[in-house]
Amino acid sequence: MSRQDQAKLYNHDAETNAPQPAGAGPGQRQDLVGIQSVVEETAYTWDLETGLIQWESNARDVLGLQAHDSIRTGDDFEKLIAPEHLSRRTKLISDARANFDAGKGHAQHGVAFRTQFRIQTGTRGGTKHLWLEDHGRWWPAGDGKPEHARGVIRVINEDFWEEQRLLYHTDQDELTGQLNRIRLTEAISATIGRAERTGVPCAFLIASVDNLGVINETFGFDVGDEVISATARLMKEKLRGGDSIGRYSSNKFGIILNDCHPGAMRVAAERFIKTVREATVRTTACPLSASISVGGVVMPDQASTVHQAISHALQALDRAKEKRLNAFMAYEPSPMRETTRQRNISIVDDVISALDDDRMRLVLQPMVNAKTGAHTLYECLLRMEQLDGEIIAAGMFIPVAEQMGLSRLIDMRTLEMAIGLLKKHPNLQLSLNVSSLTAHDHDWLLKLHELTSGRRDYTERLIIEITETAAIHDLDQTVAFVDTLKELGCRVAIDDFGAGYTSFKNLKHLNVDMVKIDGAFVKDIIADKSDLVFIKTMIDLAEEFNMETVAEWVGDEATAQLLVDAGITYLQGFLYGMPIESETYVERA
């Protein structure tokens, strides 16, 4: 079709285009709009500078709209496009611009584009979904920037049925039929972009099924999947036209709410919560009930990127779960939380860098024999050397490293350094801490055997310390871990005893060799005699189980004497000197 014909087509008066009889001869005027309506097509011209779109008179009927005003501008039309497909249409212009070549006549004939996407039309009570193909050309201004476009939009639901089926499986989560995680994130990005252009805020919610773990454990994962799928359907039924829902993870759903202020976000979240709570989910096992907790964030005011939207919504969800089940919490910016987050990121980077660059160091703190005063044992304490040479104590980075799953790497490196010291100093006896993850890690045990070559003259000089909390986390696994250590020749100690909930019955099952009494009971025994009573009780019970005892945080002679009188086996603390660098350790004669 020539540009002159296109101009006649796009600018004709709708009232002069009455349908012509079928089979009209070549001498008769063709009713192009009528023909387009028959094949479910409409045409448009789009002024890309002003955003105004001039549609053919049949656009309302073809697209199932109430009025032409609802698609008067490019932004208006984009509101109908499914969020996960919005980028398909906006990207075609940017791609076409990249392919613009004046030498190929693009300035005169335009640059062609073609794409397919889904739109949602109608009211809340009667939403209609249409798959469309958009085929046309755009023309540039003098600077090469797109100035205007002309195209034809065609309904392709039936003709493109097979492609629609394939696109559905590409877009949808297999279990729930909602958007999958990839399409959900694309929809969030498109929605943020639209909100930034229009100035109208939107919202993003993350809803989590509260009791899924109990359902999985009681009825099995198949029934749990049924609950997940049913919960998604219940929430989708309460969406407004144009809003979207997708599966973010196993039991979490992301919900995009267009044109949504903070107050409306809360109302919507509470509507979802109430709907799920009051529904009965019929499963293959039995009728069940579910509940959800919801966290939400307003975009783009509180989140201008996909990462921020998801991160902030998850933070709000965590607060909702802490509050109670069936709760909603909106994201609230916290400078302190952001500072902590940035600090944790910095610590993780420092730890990984120190491990890669071999900047982890060991210092040795003596455990003094309470009867002889001899420096019999040394506890290995970890330090990290910064790039500027500053030495950082373990307490500054270990808690964050454990939260981020780095403790196994740290424990492996610490083990290597400790075994190296045992090989270098034949009479040295060391005590080495391991994290809760390592206390159940078979690979660490294999590493221990590999480094020592199974030689008991190394392992018998090594005590492995397990925290009380780690010991009782999974008692059966801890028993197996302890038994393996003892088979290799190591001794085992329970660290920070008294700070948790371990009973001496559990200690008997664990078959440990030593109990290290938490320093919190030691530091104030001069002023608080109840702590001394507790320590004496632990010492007496430990002796009944043939276990040695260590008192930590001993800072003065008076405290040391009370502990010696109580029957403690070893004393440890600054009273006996600051920790020394392992490189400077010299064996005593």
What does the pLDDT look like over 214-233, one tens digit per residue? 999 899 999 999 999 999 99
pLDDT band at 564 (very low <50, low <70, confident <90, very high): very high
Q: Is the pLDDT score of 2 beyond 50?
A: no
Q: What average pLDDT does range 269-288 have in this prediction?
A: 94
Which of 273, 248, 277, 262 has the alpha carbon at shortest distance from 330? 262
The domain defined by 405-581 carries CATH number 3.20.20.450: yes
Phi-psi region of 130 (alpha: psi -120 to 50; beta: other; left: phi over 0): beta
Preceding omega of 19 cis (within 30 degrees of 0): no
The domain defined by 173-333 carries CATH number 3.10.20.810: no
Residue of higher predicted confidence among 509 and 357: 357
Which of 203, 230, 584, 206 has the alpha carbon at shortest distance from 425? 584
Task: Please provide the average confidence, as pLDDT, over all residues in the chain.
Answer: 85
Residue 467, pLDDT score: 81
Give the tens place of pLDDT for each residue, 40-77: 899 999 998 899 999 998 888 888 887 778 899 988 88
CB atoms within 10 A of CB 49: 11
Backbone angles phi, psi at 303, to 5 degrees: -155, 115
pLDDT band at 122 (very low <50, low <70, confident <90, very high): low
In order of 91, 244, 273, 275, 287, the CA distances from 279 in angstroms are 41, 21, 10, 6, 10
Q: What average pLDDT does range 171-191 have in this prediction?
A: 88
Q: Is the pLDDT score of 166 beyond 80?
A: no
In order of 313, 421, 461, the CA distances from 425 in angstroms are 54, 6, 11
pTM of the model: 0.58
Domain boundaries along the sequence of the chain: 3-21+29-167, 173-333, 405-581
Residue 478, pLDDT score: 86
pLDDT band at 7 (very low <50, low <70, confident <90, very high): very low
Give the tens place of pLDDT for each residue, 418-450: 999 999 999 999 999 998 888 888 899 999 999
Residue of higher predicted confidence among 329 and 164: 329
pLDDT band at 100 (very low <50, low <70, confident <90, very high): low
Considering the chain, what percentage of its residues have pLDDT values greater than 90? 51
CATH superfamily of 3-21+29-167: PAS domain (3.30.450.20)
Q: Is the pLDDT score of 129 beyond 70?
A: yes
